[in-house]
Amino acid sequence: LNHQVVIVGGGSAGTTVAASLLRQKPELDVAVIEPSDTHYYQPAFTLVGGGTYEMAKTARPQKSTLPEGSTWIKDGVATFEPDDNSLTLNDGRKVSYQTLVVAPGIQLNWGKVEGLEETLGRNGVCSNYSPETAPYTWECLKQFRGGNAIFTQPPPPLKCAGAPQKIAYLAADYARKHDLLSESNFQFYSGAGALFSVPDFVPHLEKVAGRYGIGINLGHDLVAVDGERKVATFQTTDANGDKQTVEQPFDLLHVTPHQSAPEFISQSPLANADGWVDVDRNTTQHNQYKNVFSLGDASSLPTSKTAAAVRKQAPVTVKNLLAHMNSQPLEGSYDGYTSCPLVTAYGKVMLAEFIYDGVVTPTLPLSPFKESRFYWFVKKSMLPPFYWNQMLKGKEPDIAHKPLNA
């Protein structure tokens, strides 16, 4: 197999880039390598877990989302041979390319927590991080009669770093509405050292957690779950630097799985030392192989991994890829823009928008630190159709994000 442009992964990033390339240059020969039959709008999984969005609305057949005019190679990539401008599929076929875009997302490592896979989806153990398990979160909420509710976040990296908290706030709001909050003990356990990566948001999020009485336990990494006994085990490091384990009983346990660069990326010549596709943080071009670009969760772009970030990365990648093909200088520059709609209650969202180095950059003249009904409406009703009909169709222009306060 041989194509002018080969795109690895038909998720948010791969599909957007493919569509935008073909919109601008319909004569291009673009192939997308994607093993899955279904494209999911993952940002709505949080709302599915909260019982306020239908699971079916998050899924569309891959063949309806991949752009017309592209070739779909329905398989996964096993290895890359960039010195040869080629890669090898799981079934052993070789694919060669002129230009390559690598966007296979992040890998969920459910097996890192002992006992988790055996009990996930039962015994009150749920997770919004996969389409198979997000609906069970809502079942757990409906069955919750008070008691210990635990929400976990692994140490970085993870996609949508706000998602582990969002479901804690929705669950606490649900308990509050059903007069269960006073009979409950809500605890958030994070393997990270801070509640959120951008310090400006932390006091505001602490206030939200405080309102519900949610305890915040930083530096606690979930290492085991015993579903039958309903006990979660965390590892933490004490003041002397010694490792301690802490056992916590639960009635409801929402787990965010440990995540990493996909193994077939980290073991490839395309990876940096941390396993991500090693690209320039502004151009998205590979630092060594100039005909390779990468964006989205699998890339080394040092920003928070979200679909909102992909929205801004994709037009830059497309612009620079086309320039590279024409031997022109790369003029597209990504500024690190990402955004995370922090759901803080049913009907309320605090919209965190920021660029590289944690600089807060709201798009609209609204306080980014205020919980807003309008942003809830944006999250629930405006962003999904925008995603399917605008972003995935490659219609987003390469306009630099112009924050109001810049």
Residues acting as catalytic residues:
160, 340
Question: Phi then psi for 57, rounded to 5 degrees?
Answer: -75, -10
DSSP secondary structure, 205-233, as one string = HHHHHHHHT-EEETT-EEEEEETTTTEEE
In the complex with ligand FAD, the residue whose CB is nearer, 129 or 250, is 129
Rounded to the nearest 10 degrees, the angle between the axes of helix 12-24 and helix 307-325 is 40
Q: Which two tokens stand for residue 338?
A: 């990402």
* Helix residue ranges per DSSP H, 326-361: none
Mark 260-289 with x for binding to ligand FAD (rule: CB under 6 A) and - for no binding.
--x-x-------------------------
CB of residue 317 to ligand FAD, shortest distance in Å: 11
Dihedral-angle region of residue 9 (phi above 0 means left; psi in -120 to 50 means alpha; beta otherwise): left
Does 22 help bind ligand FAD (rule: CB under 6 A)? no
In the complex with ligand FAD, the residue whose CB is nearer, 230 or 305, is 305
Does 36 help bind ligand FAD (rule: CB under 6 A)? yes
Which window, 8-16, 149-157, 226-234, 286-294, contacts ligand FAD (CB under 6 A)? 8-16
Which window, 117-125, 171-179, 184-192, 306-314, contacts ligand FAD (CB under 6 A)? 306-314
Considering only CA atoms, which of 133, 108, 118 is closest in space to residue 49? 133
Which member of 341, 345, 353, 372 binds ligand FAD (CB under 6 A)? 341
Does 43 help bind ligand FAD (rule: CB under 6 A)? yes
CB of residue 43 to ligand FAD, shortest distance in Å: 3
Which member of 3, 5, 6, 12 binds ligand FAD (CB under 6 A)? 12
Which member of 204, 258, 305, 312 binds ligand FAD (CB under 6 A)? 305
The amino acid occupying position 42 is Q
CB of residue 163 to ligand FAD, shortest distance in Å: 4
Quote the CA–CA distance of 393 and 390 in Å, as a whole number. Answer: 5
In the complex with ligand FAD, the residue whose CB is nearer, 214 or 277, is 277
Residue nearest to ligand FAD (CB): 11
Which member of 53, 97, 129, 250 binds ligand FAD (CB under 6 A)? 129
Question: Phi then psi for 204, rounded to 5 degrees?
Answer: -70, -35
Which window, 103-111, 179-187, 243-251, 321-329, contacts ligand FAD (CB under 6 A)? 103-111
DSSP secondary structure, 93-129, as one string = -EEEEEEEEE----EEEGGGSBTHHHHTTSTTEE-TT
Does 35 help bind ligand FAD (rule: CB under 6 A)? yes
Does 163 help bind ligand FAD (rule: CB under 6 A)? yes
Does 257 help bind ligand FAD (rule: CB under 6 A)? no
Considering only CA atoms, which of 369, 343, 376, 333 is closest in space to residue 354? 369
Which window, 30-38, 205-213, 347-355, 394-402, contacts ligand FAD (CB under 6 A)? 30-38
Q: Exposed, middle or buried, 56 (CB in 10 Å: 0-12/13-18/19+)? A: exposed
Which window, 11-19, 185-193, 315-323, 359-367, contacts ligand FAD (CB under 6 A)? 11-19
**Residue tagged 């502004």 (tokens):** 282
Quote the CA–CA distance of 66 and 227 in Å, as a whole number. Answer: 40
Quote the CA–CA distance of 40 and 57 in Å, as a whole number. Answer: 9
- How many residues at the interface with ligand FAD, by CB under 6 A? 36
Considering only CA atoms, which of 74, 54, 58 is closest in space to residue 66? 74
CB of residue 387 to ligand FAD, shortest distance in Å: 9
Quote the CA–CA distance of 53 and 60 in Å, as a whole number. Answer: 15
Which residues here bind ligand FAD, judged by CB under 6 A? 8-14, 33-36, 42-43, 45-46, 76-77, 103-105, 128-129, 159-160, 163, 262, 264, 296-298, 305-308, 310, 341
